[in-house]
Amino acid sequence: MDLSSATEAPPELFAQAEGAHFATFRERFKVEELAETLVAFANGQGGSILLGIGGRGKAKAEGLSDVMAAREAAIEAALICTPPLIVPLPRELHDGEGRRFLLLNVPPGMAHVYSLHGKYLQRQGAVNQPLSAEALRRLLSDRGEISWDRLSPPAATLDEIDQHKVQDYVRRIGPTAEGDGSALLLRRGCLVRTDSETALAPSNAGLLLFGKLVELRYPQAEITLVHYRGRDMTDAFEREDIRDTLPEALRRAERWLAEHMRKGSRMVGLEREDWTQFPLPAVREALVNAVCHRDYSVRGEGVRVALFSDRLECYSPGRLPGHVTLANMVDERFSRNETLVQVLADLGMIERLGYGIDRMLRQMEDAGLPPPTFRETAAGFLVVLQGRQIEAAAPDSIDTRIWVKLGLNERQIAALLRIAEHHRLTNRDLQEQYPEVSAETIRRDLADLVERGLLLKVGDKRATYYIMK
């Protein structure tokens, strides 16, 4: 028996129980039964099939007497699926006793939805089960077979579209679109033709982008923002629920996060350097990606953003779409909602080519912060950004938001920062930093800080200097 082309299998493979991602078949299997399991794995998160295992209840390593015939039958099983299932060729294995087996692998993130003779299956435990109509519809949407954002909801009419928002969009596109806004929306997928082929109706994307009452049609389209003071969820927090068209919701959410994240400044020589808890472009990317690529067919749950003292968590409903996986998401491009992506790209809120993940990685690196982490949950996708640790260095530990809220001007904030770093400040120091400002203005700035109780004035006349109170 020639085993030169086979790989020795780990013993634990033969002891593995059948389940959601593993199945076994004995040598005399039926091609269609194997095809059903291939379809079920392909419509789920993938799996492996080991040929040459017998026994009922308890697996028994029997091996294959004709490996070539088994390989041909396995390839036939993949090809009779609809569409034909393109997977790696079966891999030959052997055990320590010279028995031979074949291992078939169905990778996760397959590009299509698969069936066998019109029957759509998915793996549930160790059993292949027919997909329900709702599960099939969701899978078709996830994998781009049906684009949810280009479907029109029941009884939708053009009266639900805010024409002022449409005109703002058309003007942004420019002269090529201003002649016929409806034609542009039709090309973008915001309008679709009805069954009559003459009348137009708004699509889901059109209503999410330009609708008058988004909340009534799509309560799941809200963005919930929560700010916790510490590193854990507590009863003390600030919350904002945003329900609006997607462009406006994104603008409002970004403003809210910019206002609530920690900001500060430090003096580098005579220059003031501002910093934020997270790079704002990276926050924008996480937010826009969550809104663009979430699964809007999931009702009862919106995008959730939690801001902590050390991190930002951005959760969106729906797992990764199509063939995208955690392993290939940096390199692969796939849009669950192509119309949303295109229109938001037209509005300058996202790049059409989909390099958001790349930019987010680069922006965090440029800010000297750890790369973002990505995780799939049972029903969604989570992005975590680690923020600047202000405890690390004294100059960085100054949060200037309170000074801004007090109405201090740039020179006054610079004075407080300089004292924080050098422990004292003279009128001449601030004058050298702002040579274009009169000495009287500098004097008034410092006098105001003393009057507010922020600084103490020490000494008199030429010997005067200021320290923190």
| Dihedral Cα 281, 285, 287, 291, nearest 10 deg | 150
- Does 317 lie in the same domain as 281? yes
Whole-angstrom distance, CA of residue 454 vs CA of residue 357:
43
Whole-angstrom distance, CA of residue 119 vs CA of residue 136:
11
pLDDT at 71: 92
Of 365, 393, 421, the last residue of a domain is: 393
Residue at 404 is within a domain: yes
- Does 429 lie in the same domain as 308? no
Pair 87, 79: CB distance under 8 Å: no
Q: What is the chain's alpha carbon radius of gyration, rounded to the nearest angstrom? A: 31
Residue at 339 is within a domain: yes
- Does 121 lie in the same domain as 251? no
- Does 235 lie in the same domain as 383? yes
- Does 405 lie in the same domain as 389? no
- Does 97 lie in the same domain as 46? yes
Of 131, 155, 179, the last residue of a domain is: 131
Q: How far apart are the first and last CA of the chain?
A: 89
Residue at 384 is within a domain: yes
Q: Name the E strands within 4-95.
A: 7-8, 22-25, 47-51, 53-54, 60-61, 91-94
Pair 307, 260: CB distance under 8 Å: yes
CA angle, 323 then 374 then 310, to 5°: 165
pLDDT at 333: 65
Higher per-residue pLDDT: 420 or 451? 451
pLDDT at 245: 96
What is the arithmetic mean of pLDDT over 257-267? 78
Q: Could you identify the residue written with the tokens 């291939």? A: 38
Residue at 22 is within a domain: yes
pLDDT at 178: 62
pLDDT at 136: 87
Going by DSSP bridges, is the β-strand pair 47-51/22-25 parallel, antiparallel, or unpaired? parallel
| Dihedral Cα 73, 74, 75, 77, nearest 10 deg | 90
Going by DSSP bridges, is the β-strand pair 223-228/127-130 parallel, antiparallel, or unpaired? unpaired
Pair 323, 110: CB distance under 8 Å: yes
3-state class (DSSP) for residue 249: helix
Whole-angstrom distance, CA of residue 42 vs CA of residue 19:
14
Whole-angstrom distance, CA of residue 48 vs CA of residue 32:
17
Return phi, psi of residue 143, to 5°: -100, 10
Q: How many CB atoms lie within 10 A of CB 364?
A: 20
pLDDT value at 381 more than 80: yes
Whole-structure pTM value: 0.61
- Does 180 lie in the same domain as 107? no
Residue at 139 is within a domain: no
pLDDT value at 108 more than 50: yes
Local structure of residue 308 (DSSP, 8 states): -
pLDDT value at 392 more than 60: no
- Does 315 lie in the same domain as 264? yes
Of 131, 162, 186, the last residue of a domain is: 131
What is the arithmetic mean of pLDDT over 410-417? 87
Q: Lowest-confidence range among 154-168, 311-325, 384-398, 412-426?
A: 384-398
Residue at 2 is within a domain: no
pLDDT value at 149 more than 70: yes
Q: Give the CATH number of the domain where residue 180 resides.
A: 3.30.565.60
Sheet with 47-51, side-by-side order of all strands: 7-8, 91-94, 100-106, 47-51, 22-25
**Both tokens assigned to 61:** 């390593």
Query: What is the full DSSP assignment across 289-301?
Result: HHHHHS-TTS-S-
Q: What is the 3-state secondary structure (H, E, C) of 339-369?
A: HHHHHHHHCCCCCCCCCHHHHHHHHHHHCCC
Q: Lowest-confidence range among 119-133, 181-195, 207-221, 288-302?
A: 181-195
Which pLDDT band, with edges at 50, 70 and 90, does 177 fall under? low
- Does 300 lie in the same domain as 201? yes
pLDDT at 272: 61
Local structure of residue 459 (DSSP, 8 states): S
What is the arithmetic mean of pLDDT over 425-452? 89
- Does 195 lie in the same domain as 58? no
- Does 455 lie in the same domain as 440? yes
What is the arithmetic mean of pLDDT over 149-156? 89
3-state class (DSSP) for residue 304: strand
Q: Could you identify the residue written with the tokens 């202000």? A: 390
**Both tokens assigned to 425:** 């400040």
What pLDDT, in 10s, does the model give residues 284-319? 999 999 998 898 988 889 999 999 989 999 999 988
> What does pLDDT average to over the chain?
86
What is the arithmetic mean of pLDDT over 415-444? 87
Q: How many CB atoms lie within 10 A of CB 136?
A: 18
What is the arithmetic mean of pLDDT over 253-279? 77
The whole domain housing 417 covers 400-468
Q: Give the CATH number of the domain where residue 408 resides.
A: 1.10.10.10
- Does 443 lie in the same domain as 374? no
Reported as half-sphere exposure (CB side, CA atoms, 13 A), residue 247 has a value of: 22
Q: Give the CATH number of the domain where residue 54 resides.
A: 3.30.950.30
Residue at 209 is within a domain: yes
**399: which strand partners?**
264
Pair 302, 222: CB distance under 8 Å: yes
Whole-angstrom distance, CA of residue 258 vs CA of residue 307:
11
- Domain count for the chain, please give it: 3
Which pLDDT band, with edges at 50, 70 and 90, does 20 fall under? very high
What is the arithmetic mean of pLDDT over 37-62? 89
Which pLDDT band, with edges at 50, 70 and 90, does 414 fall under? confident
Residue at 95 is within a domain: yes
Q: How many CB atoms lie within 10 A of CB 210?
A: 26
pLDDT value at 390 more than 70: no
What pLDDT, in 10s, does the model give residues 55-65? 766 778 899 99
Percent of the chain whose predicted confidence (pLDDT) is above 90 = 42
